[in-house]
A and B are shown apart, each in its own frame.
Chain A
Amino acid sequence: MNTPFIIDAHAHLGPTQAFEAHHRELDAYMDILDRLGIELSFFSAMPTLENDFETGHRMTLEVLGKYPDRLRATGCSIPIGRKFRWPILKT
């Protein structure tokens, strides 16, 4: 069977305060991608969505480094105020 090139445009990785995500760890997530035939996935690291930008962006870069061909990421910050910055992503 020919296989289409499937891109997942919305995914999440990592822990969250709200609930216990069963497949939150990277290996479990990569297993889901393999099972469903997804070639490329755009993810957000959960800490960035809960205002822990430093932790979230460090996690983002670490994960991207492990699977540079399979993953893409979105950064997240609050684009107002004097503290707005992308320190991690500039390194």
Chain B
Amino acid sequence: MNNIDYTLALRQMTDHLVAEAAALEPYDALVWAGYPACAFQVWPDAAAVGRGLEASPIRRALISHTVGGMHDATAGNQALAALLEALPGGYGVMTLVPETAHDEPVVERRIAVALRRGMRAARILPKSHRYTLKTPGVDRLLEALEARRVPLFIPIGQTDWNEIGTLALAHAGLAILVESAGHHEYLNMRAALPWLEKAANLLVPTNRQFLAGGLELLVERLGPERVLFASGQPIEDPWSTLALLVKSRLPEAARRLIAHGNLERLLEAVVVEDSEE
């Protein structure tokens, strides 16, 4: 067919893709530390996270911990806080559960402590932690996050679009990142898009967005300010979503917003210090 040196050619293509990705200065909204149930790679500590990021064009990341996601919220937050101490400049995602007693401002205090220890976003996992978004106590948790402008991750597999959409309309000041709304939700666009269009505080991280045209569709319907680069590495391959962004037909300004601008804007808005604390 031809005399192409395929090893060299593929290396050149890869180098070109890495350079294009690095130029976007990606800030990854979803990186997992700890031991996932199933993955080819694990980043158990700060050193591993640092090495992992160093090996990619991604230099900044918002860190989540598998203990919070798969086991216990409190233990996960402690493990993540300890990791962040060894990762200067790194920010984390706290895991929260609704309180069942209301005799003291427990949720508010837990959020304040977590923010001081380097958390800048939160995640709730209703299905894993055995409650629903209609459970009493959830509203108070969301109000506490909204008051401090803490972005909230909710994996779509933990609830459904009707619950998330209703919640978003009731807490319009809360940025809700509908996590893992990728391939599966692309197939569910008829259920997802009406809610995404109706509630402007619903944002879409890009992890598991690997279908051609998915990013362009979201930007066309929602605008570039509501899509954020997130990889899910090392559990997921960061290149599946990073390459989609680099090779998208989106304008440069939109790609830079998605790569880092939107997450920076969210994190800068978080109210870390509380005058009453």
Contacts and interface: CB of A to CB of B under 8 A. Distances in A.
Interface string A36-64: 11000000000000000000000000000
B220 to A, nearest CB: 8
A11 to B, nearest CB: 9
Interface residues of A, number: 17
B194 to A, nearest CB: 12
Interface of B: 1-2, 4-6, 8-10, 12-13, 16, 186-190, 211-214, 216-217, 247, 249
A18 interface: yes
A5 B212 contact: no
Nearest to B4: A2
Chain B interface secondary structure, helix, strand, loop or mixed? helix
Contact of A28 (B10, B188, B213): B213
Contacts, number: 44
A83 interface: no
Nearest to A36: B247
A19 B186 CA distance: 7
A22 B213 contact: yes
A40 to B, nearest CB: 12
Contact of B190 (A19, A22, A23, A32): A19
Nearest to A32: B212
24 contacts: A1-B12, A1-B13, A2-B4, A2-B8, A2-B9, A2-B12, A4-B6, A4-B9, A4-B13, A5-B1, A5-B2, A19-B188, A19-B189, A20-B190, A22-B211, A22-B212, A22-B214, A22-B216, A22-B217, A23-B213, A28-B213, A32-B212, A35-B247, A37-B13
